[in-house]
Amino acid sequence: MHIIDRRLNPKGKSLSNRQRFMDRAKKQIKEAVDHAIKSRKISNTDGGERIKIPSDGLHEPRLVGDSKHGVRDRVLPGNKEFMAGDKIKRPPPQGGGQGGREASEDGEGEDSFQFTLTREEFLDIFFEDMALPDFVKKSIKEEVVHEYLRAGYKKQGSPSNLNLKLTMRNSLARRLCLRRPSDKDIADLEDKITALRARKRSTDKQKKELVALLEELEVLKRKRKVVPYIDPLDVRYTSFTEVEKPNSHAVMFCLMDVSGSMGEVHKELAKRFFMLLHLFLDRQYKKVDVVFIRHTHLASEVDEDTFFNSRETGGTIVSTALEVMQQVIIDRYPPADWNIYAAQASDGDNLNSDNAHCRKLLTEEILPICQYFAYVEVWDTHEAEMFSDDSNLTRLWQVYDEIRQTHENFAVKKVTKAADIFPVLHDLFAKNKETKDA
């Protein structure tokens, strides 16, 4: 008999089959994912997602008998009261456990298939039809700062990293142990030899001594050769290791106009946009904070529920939101330590006199410290049809559009329906933003 321990064999033998299954069920899974994202909180993207998909197209048909017709004999265990010849009323269809089970045996009762996607799979599918914008990838990569930290010593390295102190210490120890003759030893010996040679007449004894000394010198010299002053064994290099700088967290500001003019449709669109952005940043940074700021003619920081679910009335002054954002940054998110992203959603209504103030705030205060600022103007389809003309731009849009032309980290986009959101996000985060808006 052999016992083989297979526990250390590579895991995930079924991964490739799992992948095939996912490919097969792609359409259904995609729908399920899109559905799942709707009902989810923005910041809640940590776990995987339990997905339930209909089994259409995933069914493996076989030729089987129809369980609803025909004549069968069944032998059952556990008879208690029946006698031969008894008649038992047929239980109503679907009622009995028997019927239900048989239905699922032949596949008809199999209604849906449930399993859990890993977070990676979930996000892959989610971002699948939206290639990661180059701009973001690139800038975020740069954001990850690498630092070199001392990490002990090693035996190989470049000469510039040679650690002299340690090398010499090793060398000294080795030389001592192996009794390498020092310069002084040799010099002393040579002095003696010279002294002996210097004599005009030397006795036999002295001659013998001279020979002995010369031999000794010879031995010492050989030993010095054999035991080098610095051996490759002694050499040590200082080791450095590359570490990611902990500067990998980001804060995302969600600014939204919640005045009466923003309807459910607008908010839904905005929410999706924010959510995508969050997912997106979350894939790149270790930690992403989300700050929700809503505004009418007054702005305040709120929690997510309030942000999306309550509606206020009042005028619209966009700059108030920017001011709050600025204040939050000053209070909690020093730009040196945080990557700051902001997304603003509005229907474009703003108090006319406020636009100039907005421009000033953005260009002078906010944009210089922001990684990226995206403005999305949400219109419902009805509005989009009415104002399809270029001349019907909102004032805010006009102002922002001007800012965009001079600032690379500022983007404006218009969203009219849910389907626009992926492409818009993609456009927003594309590296060389084409100026094809408006």
Partner 1 sequence: MAAPKSNGATGPKSQAPARKKTVTRKAAMAPIFEGAEWDFTKVDNCFQAIEKIALEEMRLDVYPTQIEVITSEQMLDAYSSVGMPMMYNHWSFGKSFLRDETSYRKGFSGLAYEIVINSNPCICYIMEENSMTMQTLVMAHAAFGHNHFFKNNHLFQQWTDANAILEYLQFAKNYIAKCEERHGKKEVEKILDSAHALRDQGIDKFTRRQKLDIAAQRQRQIDREEYERSQYSELWRTLPETTKKNNEEIDAIERDLAQKLGLPESNLLYFLEKHSPILDSWQREILRIVRSLAQYFYPQRQTKLMNEGCACFVHYHIMNRLYDTGQITEGAMLEFIDFHTRVVAQPDFDTPYYNGINPYALGFAMMKDIERICENPTDEDREWFPDFAGNNKAIETLKEAWRNFRDESFILQYLSPHLIREFRLFNLHDDMTQSHFLVNAIHNEQGYRAVRSALAAQYSVANTDLDIQVAKVDLHGNRSMVLSHSMSHEIPLNEKQARMVVRHIHRLWGYDVSLNSIDPSGKVIKTYAEEKQS
Binding site for partner 1 (CB under 8 A): 1-7, 9, 11-14, 16-24, 58-80, 82-90, 97, 101, 106-108, 113-116
Closest to partner 1 by CB, 67 vs 300, is 67
* Shortest Å, Cβ 100 to partner 1: 12
Closest to partner 1 by CB, 76 vs 177, is 76
Spatial contact of 48 and 118, defined as CB atoms under 8 Å apart: yes
Cα 111 to the chain's mean position, in Å? 36
Spatial contact of 325 and 356, defined as CB atoms under 8 Å apart: no
* Shortest Å, Cβ 20 to partner 1: 4
* Shortest Å, Cβ 38 to partner 1: 23
* Shortest Å, Cβ 131 to partner 1: 23
Phi, psi for 375 (deg, rounded to 5): -115, 125
Closest to partner 1 by CB, 63 vs 226, is 63
Closest to partner 1 by CB, 29 vs 425, is 29
Closest to partner 1 by CB, 64 vs 198, is 64
Whole-number Å distance between alpha carbons of 213 and 207: 10
* Shortest Å, Cβ 129 to partner 1: 20
Whole-number Å distance between alpha carbons of 105 and 21: 21
Closest to partner 1 by CB, 23 vs 434, is 23
Closest to partner 1 by CB, 65 vs 152, is 65
Q: Label residue 393 exposed, middle or buried (CB < 10 Å: 0-12, 13-18, 19+).
A: middle
Closest to partner 1 by CB, 89 vs 184, is 89
And the tokens for 179?
Answer: 């009794």
Whole-number Å distance between alpha carbons of 34 and 187: 88
Closest to partner 1 by CB, 21 vs 240, is 21
**H-helix or E-strand spanning residue 218:** helix 204-226
The amino acid sitting at 148 is Y
Spatial contact of 397 and 438, defined as CB atoms under 8 Å apart: yes
Closest to partner 1 by CB, 62 vs 150, is 62
Of 272, 313, 277, 307, nearest to 292 by C-alpha is 307
And the tokens for 289?
Answer: 């904070």
And the tokens for 75?
Answer: 């032998």
**Per-residue 3-state assignment (H helix, E strand, C coil) for 334-379:** CCCCCEEEEEEEECCCCCHHHHHHHHHHHHHHHHHHCCEEEEEEEC
* Shortest Å, Cβ 1 to partner 1: 5
Phi, psi for 114 (deg, rounded to 5): -120, 135
DSSP-derived 3-state class of residue 66: coil
* Shortest Å, Cβ 101 to partner 1: 7
**Half-sphere CA count of 115, side-chain side, radius 13 A:** 13
* Shortest Å, Cβ 53 to partner 1: 10
* Shortest Å, Cβ 427 to partner 1: 32
* Shortest Å, Cβ 119 to partner 1: 16
The amino acid sitting at 10 is P
* Shortest Å, Cβ 283 to partner 1: 24
Quickly count: other Cβ atoms within 10 Å of residue 426's Cβ: 17
Whole-number Å distance between alpha carbons of 376 and 394: 12
**H-helix or E-strand spanning residue 301:** strand 299-302
Cα 23 to the chain's mean position, in Å? 24
Whole-number Å distance between alpha carbons of 438 and 385: 14
* Shortest Å, Cβ 56 to partner 1: 11
Closest to partner 1 by CB, 85 vs 152, is 85
Q: How many residues does the chain have?
A: 438
Closest to partner 1 by CB, 70 vs 159, is 70
